[in-house]
A and B are shown apart, each in its own frame.
Chain A
């Protein structure tokens, strides 16, 4: 089985990043890391590939930089990576990102595409579904369990009450939730092997896109403004005079928590 896993490189969440003042785009440092939510997709991809003697190819649209984040996923065990890296892509919105990823995945060939539910920097949460639309295949979402065999994809789709069992014919796109598998840690051997694994770098033109099809020019989304989260107000301190629980109940009722 040929498994495509979408893997995004994002600025290290441990160090705050900037938005450029003109367009409110994330200013991307050279040494981005693998988005934590994508580690689950990579892990599930690796497990399915191991069970089916398949391959895992990573797809990422990103300024190339050090490719540190992609190397992380290769060190976990993915076979190769395709990185679409082009200054023309700067400012691409979710729809353009989905279109570009779809073109790269189509070019490579696939049986199953795995993505996280949403990225940790942009949080749009719509790219995988748009990607499925571009590929013309079923889109299954919020999987906390994934099986793929005999041309069928079967998932447990997480719901507030429990889960639905959902099936679709392969090829298909599936998004996986965080925390349902334990992503493996890359070993030192994995890190050394990742150095030798192929990373194909493509431009927008390699995928048949003109300058107006992608980047800010091709995007319909404009971020008009960004407002910082207001600083948290100091909390209310309830002194316990033996009856504090009554006050706390009142506060919780007022907040409609109970």
Chain B
């Protein structure tokens, strides 16, 4: 057994933390308040190589392991979930399908800009009437000569409408019992990006509904084999679950640090509030949850990096870490009292932002379903 990260992992964590504290933390409150997607900051994340971490050097990536990506996502989430989800979705949902299932031509065309953060990719799976039940996809794509004609709509698609967005990979029904993935370049006629949603949190992250109205793309934009779309996105989501768990770890770490600092500084009835068990024990719980979530997440990432099965570990990490993160933001807000309810307090922003962690890329209920099936239970 060895729980040490390598010196290189630790060195990289320090770099990302420094970057997050210098380039993101001072502006996160303003971006949240003004619902600003900070394009220049995302470009800087690209220059730091964050989007290319787990991808091959031949396309401009870093050939890093998945754990390194998790560390980067964790450190961004510690200061701002909006930027963390921009990276998380950009890498695991946007670039990952192209890198994993793309033809050489597709990879050569799209990856160099994506892995360097000069462009962003999005993944269109969820529909207004098909969330967890992704098999109920209604968006259709029909071959007309050498073109796909796409009709339908997608919902809650991260990174789909930024000025950096170069493509959206969508899932569409290409036959009665057949779902396929198709790459739709940004700006294709008939591809309509709807106005941004009014969200409870993640205000600086870019999220839109998408519509496809007789949207035509070349037949070669099919990603992977025809009819493989369902299997592909299930695998894509397994990776994403570890990365979302890493986001939750960052949120937990932030709640822990903020709460302990405040418990030492704030006094009530003549003593620091951290001298009262009511507050001190909450901090102890935050520390415990943070450690548990972190090691579940790192283990899932490690299994993936070892090439071993990780579906169960990823679901466990996602379920525990995200539910712990939501609990932690609620408790941290409680420790901050009235100040915790003020929008500009970081824990208040984390509280609003955290809820979606239990929903996106597989709800807690879906994780429980995956875990229960992993136990051999015949559960529906």
Contact = CB atoms under 8 A, between A and B. Distances in A.
A191 to B, nearest CB: 5
Interface stretch (A22-30, A68-76, A205-213, A250-258): A68-76
Residue from B11, B48, B53, B62 having most chain A Cβ neighbours under 10 A? B11
Contact of A66 (B7, B15, B53): B7
Interface string B140-166: 000000000000000000000000000
B64 interface: yes
A186 interface: yes
A189 B62 CA distance: 6
B7 A192 contact: no
A188 B62 contact: yes
A187 B11 contact: no
A71 to B, nearest CB: 7
A195 B11 CA distance: 11
A191 B48 contact: no
A187 B48 contact: yes
Nearest to A184: B47
Given A185-B48, A188-B49, A188-B64, A72 B11 contact: yes
B8 A187 contact: no
Contacts of A195: 8
Interface in B45-84: 48-49, 53, 57, 62, 64, 68
B15 A71 contact: no
Contacts of B57: 189
B19 interface: yes
Contacts of B7: 66, 68, 71
Contact of B8 (A66, A185, A191): A191
B11 A68 contact: yes
Contacts of A185: 15, 18-19, 48
Nearest to A67: B7
A9 B372 CA distance: 52
A187 B18 CA distance: 12
A188 B68 contact: yes
Nearest to A66: B7
Q: Could you tell me the dominant secondary structure of chain A's interface residues?
A: helix
B12 interface: yes
A68 B10 CA distance: 10
B18 A188 contact: no
Interface string B1-32: 00000011001100100110000000000000
Contacts of B15: 75, 185-187, 191
Contacts of A187: 15, 48-49, 62
A148 to B, nearest CB: 26
Nearest to B72: A188
A197 to B, nearest CB: 13
Interface string A169-202: 0000000000000000111110110010000000
Contacts of B49: 187-189
A138 B340 CA distance: 58
A185 B8 CA distance: 14
A192 B15 CA distance: 13
A52 to B, nearest CB: 23
Given A66-B7, A68-B7, A188 B12 contact: yes
A157 to B, nearest CB: 27
B270 to A, nearest CB: 18
B286 to A, nearest CB: 21
Residue from A71, A72, A191 having most chain B Cβ neighbours under 10 A? A191
Contacts of B48: 185, 187
Contacts of B12: 188, 191
Interface string A44-74: 0000000000000000000000101001100
Nearest to A188: B62
B11 A71 contact: yes
B69 to A, nearest CB: 9
A188 B12 CA distance: 6
Contacts of B64: 188
A185 B24 CA distance: 14
Given A71-B11, A72-B11, A188 B53 contact: yes
A186 B19 contact: no
A66 B48 CA distance: 24
B79 to A, nearest CB: 15
A242 to B, nearest CB: 29
22 contacts: A66-B7, A68-B7, A71-B7, A72-B11, A75-B11, A75-B15, A185-B15, A185-B19, A185-B48, A186-B11, A187-B15, A187-B48, A187-B62, A188-B8, A188-B12, A188-B53, A188-B64, A189-B57, A191-B11, A192-B8, A192-B62, A195-B8
Given A186-B11, A188-B68, A192-B62, 12 more contacts: A68-B7, A71-B11, A72-B11, A187-B15, A187-B48, A188-B8, A188-B12, A188-B64, A189-B57, A191-B12, A191-B15, A192-B8
Interface of B: 7-8, 11-12, 15, 18-19, 48-49, 53, 57, 62, 64, 68
Which 9 pairs, one residue from A and one from B, show the smallest C-beta to C-beta distance? A187-B49, A188-B62, A189-B62, A191-B11, A188-B64, A191-B8, A188-B12, A185-B48, A185-B15
